[in-house]
């Protein structure tokens, strides 16, 4: 197996952390990036190199990529994992927050892609792994801004895949289902904070209860780390990998049901909780 130089964003916990540990154990050179270095001290003990990187700050991303190039002379794989879920009714969420959701989940990701591509093109090889979500294929109440970013990421990834084929660069999308990480708790808390006391309060609270249930039954982040490992190590990776609690059921329902039938089914699940 080729020893790759890999950059993983959002690596201080959850999917990013598990992926970093798995890939370094396989012999790859792994750079784990996150906003707070202190949360990644334990990763250094495993031989993982850590970088302070905020995907909303231009200089932070430039410095991170330059550090890797100076130390390794190349960058082979970019795993775009940084992101969060901003939940709340569209009417309730301030546009400043909506813009920040896109800044983290889309524009920061896209800028990092721009920064690594010149190096990958020079190598005539490279791979970009974008962590999307099954939520990039359907919407849900109170999740418009989050789902909007994931719908956007699906389209961006498809376009990138066609653009970069000529340079020998692969683009892979990972679509997690319900995963047991801090993501779910943050999304629930934001939902109640933003819409729990508004005209949308009743459905917001029911939705938060459903999210909590799925969180408890969510798959371990290692399930997605294994998919990312496949995307990194496969000679010819798939364009998309999907796994995690409820993933296939949700995507099958979205595929088979018309819009109104899917809406009804989703709202029924909310009420059941």
Residues known to be catalytic = 12, 132, 146, 150
Is residue 173 a contact partner of residue 150, using CB atoms and an 8 Å limit? no
Is residue 32 a contact partner of residue 8, using CB atoms and an 8 Å limit? yes
Q: How far is CA 209 from CA 89, 197, 233, 245, in A?
A: 16, 15, 38, 17
Nearest partner of 173 among 252, 98, 266, 80, judged by Cα: 80
Is residue 13 a contact partner of residue 182, using CB atoms and an 8 Å limit? yes
**Alpha helices for the chain (secondary structure H):** 14-25, 41-44, 58-72, 95-102, 108-123, 144-164, 182-195, 201-216, 222-233, 247-256, 259-272
Q: Rounded distance, CA 29 to CA 45, Å?
A: 14
One-character DSSP codes across 119-136: HHHHHT-EEEEEE--GGG
Q: How far is CA 198 from CA 88, 143, 216, 222, in A?
A: 10, 16, 27, 37
């Amino acid at each position: 197996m080729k020893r790759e130089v890999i950059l993983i964003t959002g690596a201080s916990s959850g999917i990013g952390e598990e992926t970093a540990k798995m890939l370094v154990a396989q012999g790859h050179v792994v750079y784990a990036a996150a906003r707070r270095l202190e949360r990644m001290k334990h990763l250094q003990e495993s031989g993982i190199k850590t970088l302070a990187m905020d995907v909303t700050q231009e200089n932070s991303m430039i410095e991170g990529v330059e550090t890797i190039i100076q130390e390794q002379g190349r960058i082979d794989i970019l795993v775009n994992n940084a992101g969060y879920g901003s939940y709340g009714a569209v009417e309730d969420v301030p546009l400043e927050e909506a813009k920040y959701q896109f800044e983290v989940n889309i524009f920061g990701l896209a800028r990092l892609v721009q920064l690594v591509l010149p190096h990958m093109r020079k190598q005539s090889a490279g791979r970009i792994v974008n962590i999307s979500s099954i939520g990039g294929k359907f919407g849900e109440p109170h999740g418009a801004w989050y789902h909007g970013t994931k719908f956007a990421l699906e389209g961006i990834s498809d376009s990138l895949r066609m653009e970069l084929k000529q340079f020998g660069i692969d683009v892979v999308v990972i679509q997690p289902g319900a995963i047991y990480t801090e993501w779910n708790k943050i999304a629930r808390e934001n939902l109640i904070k933003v819409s729990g006391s508004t005209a949308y309060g009743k459905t917001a609270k029911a939705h938060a209860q459903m999210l909590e249930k799925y969180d408890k039954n969510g798959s371990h982040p290692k399930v997605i780390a294994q998919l990312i490992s496949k995307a990194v190590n496969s000679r010819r990776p798939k364009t998309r990998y999907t796994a995690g609690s409820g993933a296939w059921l949700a995507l099958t329902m979205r595929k088979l049901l018309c819009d109104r039938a899917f809406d009804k089914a989703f709202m029924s699940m909310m009420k059941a909780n």
